[in-house]
Chains A and B, each alone.
Chain A
Amino acid sequence: MAALGARRLFCHGRRWFSETTPDAPSPTPGPLYPPVVASVTAKSQAAKWRRLDRFKQRVHAAATVEEKLRLYGKLQRPKYMVYPQTFALNADRWYRSFTKTVFVPGMPPGAAAAKAPVAATGATPEAGRAPEPGAEAPGAANTPEPPVGAAPYPDMGHLRSLTCDALLQESFYQNKKRPFLYRDQDHTPGPFLTQLVSTLAAFLSGRNPLLAESSLDLKPEVNYYWHHGEEVVVHGHRKGRVDPVRFQIDDNPHLQIRVPKQLPEVVPLESDLGDVPVIDHQPSKLPLFKKQYENKVFIGSKVADPCCYGHTQFHLLPDRLKRERFIRERLEDQIEVVYRSNGIASLFAWTAAQAMYQGFWSEADVTRPFVSQAVVTDGKYFAFFCYQLNTLALTPETIKNNPRKNICWGTDSKPLYDVVEDGNVKGFNDEVLLQLVRFLLNRPKEF
């Protein structure tokens, strides 16, 4: 009996022992085997995606912005060189499709309403009267100004006299030889623009403290590199593979103002003001050509510079894009296209490079809009552009679920003056000067 009982005890012993330790929340042991992921070196789609993911993780985890930019542009492949100042027909439509930009004619309504009182005070005196060189009495312009406060509106007469001084100095007073062949723009309009901008910026820095902290660059370099769309490689050892279409803009504006604080947004980030043109053809039909060289992203100064945001750019159109040449070849509608394509391409490159300097890129899209302004001129005709960058995600994977579009506001080109004769500037246009002053006075709310 006892033996039987002992055997029964022994038979159930193992189960009994296993039930005596009833710790229900036993800690689950860690994974016994490493996670099953695709290979890194295989010749397969999964391996390719894994390599891409590893690259993106590397860029996300980069410690500094310089390291991020270095990794972003590390792989060099043939890319399309996009020139902002181009003679290609209907280039602005193509450039809008490359940069996912909506073009809105006219200036944004916020800028026009805020400075309406300036227009009222400036236009009532000398409306269209040709001023005398340098002998302008600012007293006549001061009387219509409101006596309240320390004259918050700028003195239009003084500004007009500054402009006419600069113009006459370059074209009338200074004795210059005839310009060399196709160097007309460097002869007169170039120095006039530099002089005008530096004097106006210096004068208006009293009203706009942002200009006092700004940095004025002469002939800076602005570069940006991005991917947009997909194509199949046609020739070479990589034939048949699907590649992203790479673009590079290398721009040299005539002048540039960089500021330490960003300009305020014009419209909210997710606003939709129009349609982006979709062009099915290859970019090489524009015509656009491919070359392989350094993938550079640059705003005009290096990353460590405190003035890392853009305020205004000034572009001077070269001689081969003169109005007379287009009129002679009966391509009048392409004149405005030249201004628009220059504005859109240059401003996209500048704002996108500013966003990259803050650490955003196509996988890490911008969280706040980047705004910049530009003035495109050929010495006499001025066109004004304002650009808001809402998205950097233009690569084939990131553009799929991205409803945001970049927006560019732009005006037609208007003449600043009609003709300069015998020390007089005839037909001065106040609106153009007003718009220029508005651009320079643009500043964030806290200032």
Chain B
Amino acid sequence: YPLFQRGGPQLRIFRPNFFMLAVRPGVPQPEDTVQFRVSMEMTKVDIRNYLERIYNVPVAAVRTRIQYGANNKRNHRNQRVKKPDYKVAYVQLGQGQTFQFPNLFPEKEQDTETRSFDDFRDKYMEKEKQKQEGDPRRGGVPDWFGL
């Protein structure tokens, strides 16, 4: 490939080897802020270009920090086990857009069949338990005890 100079033809395309993971924030963030876990080698400029060019997301501001993974756990050989470090990026969206991390595990609506089956199963389990316990009038005393 010929050496590239500004203004020349772009003969090679470089795809970034970065990956960005959108995560649910641990502490509540303002509505326009999205939290990502990014590769340790990414910079704020990289993150902005990545989101704007690949996903067409308008980015107003980016702030990053590196989260240190603890080294306190020990394995069966008493060696310290390190949790990996990772970089967290807080991206503020432009043009007044907002983002709320979705609920990934919503409670499913049960139809009548499953609901009645659940009720039947609960009642059966209750009856089995009562049979196991014995007569409540004996106050927990086993039935082999007595005259």
Contacts and interface: CB of A to CB of B under 8 A. Distances in A.
Interface of A: 88-89, 279-282, 285, 287, 329-331, 334
A290 to B, nearest CB: 15
A282 B28 CA distance: 9
Contact of A285 (B33, B58, B60, B94): B33
Interface string B47-72: 00000000000101101000000000
A287 B63 contact: yes
A3 to B, nearest CB: 80
Contact of A330 (B28, B58, B92): B58
A285 B29 contact: yes
Contacts of A285: 29-30, 33
A330 B52 CA distance: 12
A42 to B, nearest CB: 34
A330 B58 CA distance: 9
Given A89-B61, A279-B30, A331-B94, 18 more contacts: A88-B61, A89-B32, A89-B60, A89-B92, A280-B28, A281-B28, A281-B29, A281-B30, A282-B27, A285-B29, A285-B30, A285-B33, A287-B63, A329-B60, A330-B58, A330-B94, A331-B60, A334-B60
A88 B58 CA distance: 16
Contacts of A331: 60, 94
Contacts of A329: 60
Nearest to A333: B96
Contacts of A287: 63
Nearest to A88: B61
Interface size of B as a range: 10 to 19
Main secondary structure of the interface of B (DSSP, over half): loop
Interface string B78-101: 000000000000001010000000
The 4 A-B pairs with the shortest beta carbon distances in the complex, nearest first, are A281-B30, A285-B30, A89-B60, A89-B92
A221 to B, nearest CB: 29
A89 B32 CA distance: 10
Contacts of B27: 282
A329 B52 CA distance: 12
B24 to A, nearest CB: 15
Contacts of B61: 88-89
A285 B94 CA distance: 16
Interface in B8-35: 27-30, 32-33
Residue among A89, A279, A287, A331 with the most chain B CB within 10 A?
A: A89
A11 B27 CA distance: 85
A334 B60 CA distance: 10
A83 B30 CA distance: 20
Contacts of B94: 330-331
A329 to B, nearest CB: 8
Nearest to A330: B94
A217 B63 CA distance: 37
A140 B15 CA distance: 69
A282 B25 CA distance: 14
A88 B62 CA distance: 11
18 contacts: A88-B61, A89-B32, A89-B60, A89-B92, A279-B30, A280-B28, A281-B28, A281-B29, A281-B30, A282-B27, A285-B29, A285-B30, A287-B63, A329-B60, A330-B58, A330-B94, A331-B60, A331-B94
A407 B107 CA distance: 47
Nearest to A234: B27
A155 B27 CA distance: 59
Contacts of A89: 32, 60-61, 92
A252 to B, nearest CB: 25
A287 B33 CA distance: 11
Contacts of B63: 287
A285 B63 CA distance: 11
B113 to A, nearest CB: 43
Contacts of A281: 28-30
Nearest to B93: A89
Contacts of B28: 280-281
A89 B31 CA distance: 12
Contacts of B33: 285
A329 B32 CA distance: 17
B31 to A, nearest CB: 9
A196 to B, nearest CB: 34
B25 to A, nearest CB: 10
Nearest to A329: B60
Nearest to A279: B30
Contacts of A279: 30
Nearest to B96: A333
